[in-house]
Amino acid sequence: MSGRPWFFPQSVRLLGAALTALLLAPLTACSSGQPLKQDESAPPFVFRSLDLRQQDQQGRPAWSLTSPEARYDLRRQVAQALTPKGVIYRDGQPAYRLQATSGTVVNDGEVVLLEGQIRVEQVGSQPVLIEASRVRWFPSRQRMEIDRKPRASDAQYRLSSLQATFLFDQNLLKLRGKPLLERWSTRFDPFKQAARTDPETTVRVSEADWNPKTGLLQARGPVEASRRPPGRSRLQAAQILTASSLDGNTQQQQLRLLAPVIYTDAIDQAHLEAREVKLDLGLHTASSQQSFQASRAAFGVRGQGFDVHQDQTSIEIPAGCVITQGQDMLSAGRCRWNWVSQEIEADGVLELRRQQNQQITRGKRLRGQLGAQGSLTVTSPSGRVVSQFLVPNRPGPPRLQRPRPAPEPIRL
């Protein structure tokens, strides 16, 4: 057993038992008159408990590992522990608690292999649970490598992948190998393992970095997300969203998608193409400050930026608003359109073009309802609204023709 600084008085009985065994071995050999030989097949030492601790350079606790029962192989410097539990500190305060079914301490704590049901719990106001079935922990490097079923959960999210690396000093979980992000609209306690329904939203990316302390998230694409709104059955098509990359904050419930962003909903016949889109999942809003184009059923929409309010089923376009329905078109400085009720508000320099009678109406303000049965009112602060249209020619009564005079008879 090495006398490295990470052994403290709590583990003296482990080291003392090993030294006692070494001292008793020569005495036994001398009493029998036989030459001393090292018995490599001797069973490892079995201890009632294991208590290992390490301090940082300021003398504050850095980490600890305890076990109710451990077996130590003195020759290989390997300790095997049952149901180990540990604490990882930051600035002398507990930051994470961990436990596993079994653990193996190699080379006096240089590497700790945890196996079985592994739980790493974040301590504090933001509960986070990291689970796995095998972890290689490097205490001096403040690093964990997880290669079997890594999964991290907080109040509304669950992140999983094929492999993961957890950097304690940076509070950074690096997910590699088909990362999957799942989100629920309702909050839950990740420590209680309560039964959960299917997630409302799932997002697949190629790589993801997540800070469980602050909630910062960065994911490299391609991004492929699917969402099933409340009330939509699994037999119906989900909403699909794709992008080149994604970043945001899971605690603030805000995500940002980078171009090209494409959204499709086959049930609502909706389609959107945009560059940068910001999602506020807590407020159920989506927004952009760049150009976009979209369609919903028979209507087309485009403009310079948008704000979508899902709860109010409406979209607001702050600049360059254009709404089309077939050959009819409305253009305005800004507009707000409710795609369920078809109510429309438009302001600025606006122009309404209708195919019927080739009507063109110009004004400053428009209120009304789109659609075949809708009515629109165009007004202007000056009271002047310009409207022009063609009136088709209607067939009138036949013209009366004057009778021609009879020709004079031919005279000889």
Pairs from 232-237 (Cβ < 8 Å, separation ≥ 24): 232/267, 234/198, 236/267, 237/265, 237/266, 237/267
Q: With a cut of 90, say whether residue 51 has pLDDT above it.
A: no
For residue 175, what pLDDT is reported?
A: 97
Residues 57-68 have a mean pLDDT of: 92
The values of phi and psi at residue 165, to 5°, are: -130, 130
Compute the average pLDDT of residues 48-64.
88
Question: What tokens appear for 96 in the block?
Answer: 């994470």
**Is 259 in contact with 244 (CB distance < 8 Å)?**
yes
Question: In the Cβ-directed half-sphere of 261, how many Cα atoms lie within 13 Å?
Answer: 22
Q: How far apart, in Å, do the first and last CA atoms of the chain sit? A: 157
Q: What's this model's pTM, rounded to 2 decimal places?
A: 0.80
Q: Give the position of tokens 């020619």.
A: 393
Strand partners for 226:
202, 240
**What pLDDT does 34 receive?**
43
SS3 for 32?
helix
Q: How many whole angstroms separate alpha carbon 26 and alpha carbon 24?
A: 6
Question: What per-residue confidence (pLDDT) applies to 192?
Answer: 83
What's the rounded mean pLDDT across residues 194-216? 91
Report the chain's mean pLDDT, rounded to a whole number: 83
pLDDT in tens, 64-112: 999 998 888 888 888 999 999 999 999 999 999 999 999 999 987 889 9
Mean pLDDT on 190-199: 79
Please say if the pLDDT value at position 22 is more than 50: no
Residue 153, Cβ neighbours under 10 Å: how many?
22
The pLDDT confidence band at residue 303, using thresholds 50, 70 and 90, is very high
pLDDT in the model for residue 313: 87
DSSP state string for 107-124: TTTTEEEEEEEEEEEE-S
Name the DSSP letter for residue 237: P
- Residue 306: pLDDT above 50? yes
Tokens of 26: 């020569």
Share of the chain above pLDDT 90, in %: 57
pLDDT computed for residue 195 by the predictor: 63
